[in-house]
Amino acid sequence: MLTEQGIRNVGACFRKLDRIFNNNERVIEAGRVGKGYDKQLKELLEAEILPMAEEFDKKENDETVYEERLQTAADNFIAAASKLPRVSGCFPPCGFQSAGAVFNCVTCHYDSCEFPLDCPVKEMNAKENKRIQMWCNVPFHLPVDMEVIWRFAEEVNTQQVDQFNEVTAGMDRLYSIPSTSLQHQGTYQCEIYSGRRSIVRLYFYLAVTPQVVEGHSELQEIFDLSLLPGGRLVPSPPPLPHLLLLLLLPSPLLLTACITALLLLLFLSLGRNTNTTRLQPPLNRDRTILLLRRPFIMAPVPVCTGPKKAGIFPP
């Protein structure tokens, strides 16, 4: 860059380059590509920067020209780098995940996921003489040349490597026990290798329930039910579902028909009473008044004046 005195200001040029490229979050995010694509990323960056650097070295330009050209180069790099395959990402909580490493444009190195090799213990329960299976599966990609080793620590729930004894080795990630017994209780370790490098270690703690204990548990459950009020072995049935109650109720159409019939019968009975009253002959008011005006004459009551005889009344 040129100052007013015509002197190249190299420091200002690098500061502008850092602002537009090195410290630009969009440029850094576009550079987060998967493993193996760092070379293509470098080629894209050189294709945008080198021609411009040669041109600026031979020709003196105004400061605004540098700003515009660098910003255009950054936009072109972002558009091209964003089309490269993205990184698959890291899957917690354990395992060495090389495929999930992210390329860092600032350090020009891949940032690993930085998870421990040992995964948390997964607890499993199985009844005696029952089949149980354990899968050594992980959510991230595994190499083709992997080797799986199963180990067993009897009767303990542990992640101490020195307590395990090797059981099988090969490519099979499934460990199956056709018929479990008390001797199978303990912690199983599945370790996956690639070459001589350990990738991940999974742990399964298996608890086996004996059949005798299982029978005792069923008896205890029956005994607990017998202590319910009234000695009922079976609890009261649950209330009817809401839908069943709706089915038991009469339909609205049936209710409407019944109410209509009742109202019709009521109207018919009222009409019959009215007609009966109208058919009765009217009373003769004059005759009624005449009967009421007649004097009321009481019949004479016989009076006994003679001597009374026992058991004999006068005639």
Give the CATH number for residue 158: 2.60.40.10
Smallest CA-to-CA distance from 44 within 26, 59, 30 is with 30
Compare 234 and 148 and report the one with higher pLDDT: 148
Q: Do residue 54 and residue 130 come from a single domain?
A: no
Q: Is residue 301 part of a domain?
A: no
Supply the range of the domain harboring residue 74: 10-81
Per-residue pLDDT reduced to its tens digit, 186-203: 999 999 999 889 999 999
Q: Could you tell me if 124 and 203 lie in one domain?
A: yes
Tens of pLDDT, residue by residue over 128-169, are 999 999 999 998 888 889 999 999 999 999 999 999 999 999
Q: How far is CA 226 from CA 47, 219, 229, 230, 233, in A?
A: 84, 11, 8, 9, 5
List, in sequence order, the alpha helices (H) in the chain: 10-17, 25-30, 38-58, 63-81, 211-226, 242-248, 252-279, 285-293
Q: Would you place residue 212 in the very low, low, confident or very high pLDDT band (cuts 50, 70, 90)? A: confident
Question: Residue 304 has which token pair?
Answer: 């006994």
* Residue 202 is assigned to a structural domain of this protein: yes
Pair (128, 204) in one structural domain: yes
Q: What is the pLDDT of residue 234?
A: 53
Within-domain flag for 167:
yes
Position 169 in a domain: yes
pLDDT at 135: 95
Claim to verify: residue 132 and residue 77 sit in the same structural domain: no
Among candidate residues 212, 242, 268, the one where a domain is terminated: 212
Give me the residue label for tokens 């003489």: 129
Give 35-78 pLDDT, tens digit per residue.
677 788 888 888 888 887 777 777 766 667 778 888 888 899 89
Q: What is the pLDDT of residues 68-85, one digit of tens each?
A: 888 888 899 898 888 887
131 lies in the same domain as 200:
yes
Give yes or no for a contact between 142 and 199, defined as CB atoms under 8 angstroms apart: yes
Q: Which of 36, 60, 81 is the last residue of a domain?
A: 81
Q: What is each CA distance from 132 to 55, 70, 122, 127, 179, in whole angstroms?
A: 71, 63, 14, 9, 8
Identify whether 29 is part of a domain.
yes
Q: What are phi and psi of 29, to 5 degrees?
A: -65, -35
Partner residues linked to 156 by β-bridges: none
Six token digits for residue 246: 């709706």
Residue 123 placed within a domain: yes
Q: What is residue 207's three-state secondary structure?
A: strand
70 touches 17 (CB < 8 A):
yes
User: Is the pLDDT score of 279 beyond 60?
Assistant: no
Within this chain, do residues 124 and 193 fall inside the same structural domain, yes or no? Answer: yes
8 Å CB contact between 80 and 108: no
Q: How many domains does the chain have?
A: 2
**Residue 163, SS3 per DSSP:** helix
Say if residues 155 and 186 touch (Cβ distance below 8 Å): yes
pTM given for the model:
0.47
* Cβ contact 101:110 at 8 Å: yes
- pLDDT tier at 232 (50, 70, 90 boundaries)? low
Residue 103 in any domain: the answer is: no
Q: What type of residue is 247?
A: L
Domain termination residue (choose one: 30, 52, 81): 81
Domain contains 182 = yes
For helices 38-58 and 63-81, give the axis angle rounded to 10 degrees.
160
**How many other β-carbons are positioned within 10 Å of the β-carbon of residue 203?**
23
Cα distances from 282 to residues 82, 238, 277, 285, in angstroms, run 111, 69, 10, 9
As beta bridge partners, residue 133 has 176
